[in-house]
Every structure is written in C-alpha cells, then in structure tokens.
Amino acid sequence: MLCRRVISIAVFMAASLASVAGADEDREAADEVAIRKAIDAYVAAFNKADAKSLAAMWAQEAVYTNPLTDEEVVGREAIEGQFASIFAEAKGVQLESTTLSIGFVSPNVAVEQGIARVIRPDKTSEESQYSAVYVKRDGQWLLDRVTEEVVPVVTSNYEQLRELEWMVGRWVDQDDKATVVTECNWTRNNNFLVRSFLVHVNDRINMSGMQIIGWDPAAKQIRSWVFDSDGGFGQATWKKKEDKWFIQQNGILPDGQKSASVNIIRFVDEKTCMIQSVSRTVDDELLPDIAEVRIVKD
C-alpha cells in the first residue's frame, strides 16, 4: 500500500512540474513577442526622430553607455536629452536593428543581443554590437541598460584581386617526368591569395613552396612573393593584358645568384589555364624560354 502511495505522489509531482514548465515556456514565448514588438517600436520612434517616445521606452533609472565616448547617460530625462542632441546634429539619421537572441534571466528580466546600424543621409553607416537589458514593470518591458561596442571596419582588397578568383582550387601540371600540384585559397577578409605548390619527381617530393598574392595600395598594383623549400625567394608585379597576366618576377636563388623572368598565365576557362615563362635570366645570363604548358583544375 505504501509503495502505491509513493508512486502516486511521484506521478502527481511529475505532472505538476510538467505543468509548471509548460506554463513557463508559454509565458516566455509571450514575453519574447512583447519584447520584439518593443524593439520594432523603438526603431520606428528613432527613425521619426522622436526623442520623447524613445525615452518613454526606458526605465526611470536606466543607463545608456555611448559606444563612441564610453560616457554613461543615467535616467530617462538624460537619455531623452541625449537622443534629442543626436537628432539635432544628424538630421535624417536612420536606425536598423537585428536581434540575434533574447534570453530570460528571471520572469521580469531579459537580455537581448543584437546588431545596430545607424545610417546617415549621405548613406554612410556605423555598425555596433549591443547588449540590452529589459525589465518588466507593470506588464511593460522597458530598457534598463544598453551597452554598445562599435564593430571595427575591416578593409578588404577583394575588388582589386577578384579577377584572380578563378585561381582558387587545386591545379595539376603533369608530364612523364614530374607532377606539380598547386592549391590556392583566400586568406581571411580576402586580402591575399595563398598558393602552395609541391613538385613530385618519381613519386617523391622534390620541392615545395608558397606564393602570396596581394594588392599593393601604395603602388596601386598587384604584387606577389614566393618562397621555396630550397631557400630561394622572389617577388613580382602583375599586369593584365586582355586574357593574359604578365608576371615580372625577380628573385634570389639558393646559391645567391639573381634570377628574373616574365611568367605569363593565360586564362582559358574555370578549369583550364596556360602558363609559360620567357625572358629568363640568371645573373644576367639569358636562359631558354619555357613553352606554354596546360594546367587543369583537379
């Protein structure tokens, strides 16, 4: 009999806990909808330059931290003054907001993580990551504390290098004596292309190396640097004429001799290119040209 009573109590408690959990989920879902509506209302008020309506969406003791000055603005009235000044100085400024997440610390406290983008009339924009703490007062969700961190602008030279994007991938040059495998990838932010190469002779790696291709903002041209496993290195400038890239390269061989050449890459299609090397010299001694070779993407 006792065992049955214990089981009955356990079943009742489990059912009660499930009911409470379900009620909590429903409440949080409803609160999240309310917070998202508050965010939309905030953006709309900002875009109307309505400082008074904006301030009404903050708690009386709220704190706003300016991301540019790290200055804390405390209280609803001070926050209204802050935004009134912003609107007076930057007429026509607009706000875009993207909510990344909303989490609940307690039934009356929530934290929103998001990205804000302020767009000025001249179309320039500033982007920041923000964290907003909301408190529930008399059934209304109000902003209590907002901190922002300006997202750094990352420069990229992709536009200057994108004509070489077809090089990305794995390329193979093979004949009866040797195989050259080249792999090309973008670095982070698409500021450089990195090409690594392996030379196989009789199934053994005879040499390896890497080439870095980037944009020289001072000279306003594409430049590259190459280093090989034998100790040789060099640099080159790139120029395009029609469907060909002319690469003027100067280097130092492992024994200290100076080398120079003009390497020509001709784009055929996304899976095929042709490479040749002309005007080759070592310590000013002219060497034979290397005829055009077909390279294919693996």
Cβ 269 vs Cβ 243: under 8 Å: no
pLDDT at 45 exceeding the cut of 70: yes
Residue 20 pLDDT level (bands cut at 50, 70, 90): very low
pLDDT at 51 exceeding the cut of 90: yes
Q: Is residue 224 part of a domain?
A: yes
Q: Is residue 5 part of a domain?
A: no
Q: Is residue 14 part of a domain?
A: no
Query: What mean pLDDT value characterizes the chain?
Result: 89
Same domain, 135 and 167: no
Q: Provide the 10 A C-beta neighbour count for residue 211.
A: 19
pLDDT of residue 125: 81
Same domain, 41 and 90: yes
Same domain, 82 and 204: no
Q: Is residue 10 part of a domain?
A: no
Backbone Cα Rg of the chain: 32
Cβ 198 vs Cβ 180: under 8 Å: yes
Same domain, 197 and 137: no
Same domain, 195 and 112: no
**How many structural domains comprise the chain?**
2
Name the domain boundary from 129, 150, 171.
150
Residue 200 pLDDT level (bands cut at 50, 70, 90): confident
Q: Provide the 10 A C-beta neighbour count for residue 210.
A: 15
- Token pair, residue 102, equals 């909303």
pLDDT at 17 exceeding the cut of 50: no
pLDDT of residue 224: 97
Which residues fall within 8 angstroms of residue 133, CB to CB, at 6 or more apart? 109, 110, 111, 143, 144, 145, 146
pLDDT of residue 177: 79
Query: Among 84-93, 161-170, 195-204, where is mean pLDDT lowest?
Result: 195-204
Query: Among 22-26, 94-98, 109-113, where is mean pLDDT lowest?
Result: 22-26
Task: Identify the domain containing residue 201 by its residue range.
Answer: 158-297
Instruction: Indicate which CATH number applies to the domain containing 244.
Output: 2.40.128.20
Same domain, 166 and 290: yes
Q: What is the mean pLDDT of residues 101-108?
A: 94
Same domain, 139 and 163: no
Name the domain boundary from 107, 129, 150.
150
Q: Is residue 271 part of a domain?
A: yes
Residue 14 pLDDT level (bands cut at 50, 70, 90): very low
Cβ 145 vs Cβ 134: under 8 Å: no
Query: Among 19-33, 108-122, 235-249, 263-277, where is mean pLDDT lowest?
Result: 19-33
Q: Is residue 198 part of a domain?
A: yes
pLDDT at 9 exceeding the cut of 60: no
Same domain, 144 and 53: yes
Q: Is residue 190 part of a domain?
A: yes
Q: How many CA atoms lie within 13 A of 191 on its CB side?
A: 7
Instruction: Indicate which CATH number applies to the domain containing 124.
Output: 3.10.450.50
Query: Among 154-158, 165-169, 212-216, 236-240, where is mean pLDDT lowest?
Result: 154-158
Same domain, 178 and 246: yes
Residue 7 pLDDT level (bands cut at 50, 70, 90): low
Same domain, 232 and 266: yes
pLDDT at 181 exceeding the cut of 50: yes
Q: What is the mean pLDDT of residues 38-42?
A: 96
Collapsing DSSP to helix, strand or coil, 79 comes out as: helix
pLDDT of residue 68: 64
pLDDT of residue 184: 96
pLDDT at 163 exceeding the cut of 80: yes
Q: Which residue has the higher pLDDT, 200 or 170?
A: 170
The greatest distance separating any two alpha carbons of the chain, rounded to the nearest whole angstrom, comes to: 106
Q: What is the mean pLDDT of residues 272-289?
A: 94
Same domain, 135 and 200: no
Q: Is residue 15 part of a domain?
A: no
Residue 150 pLDDT level (bands cut at 50, 70, 90): confident
pTM for the full predicted model? 0.55
Same domain, 48 and 29: yes
pLDDT of residue 139: 92
pLDDT at 57 exceeding the cut of 90: yes
Name the domain boundary from 96, 125, 150.
150
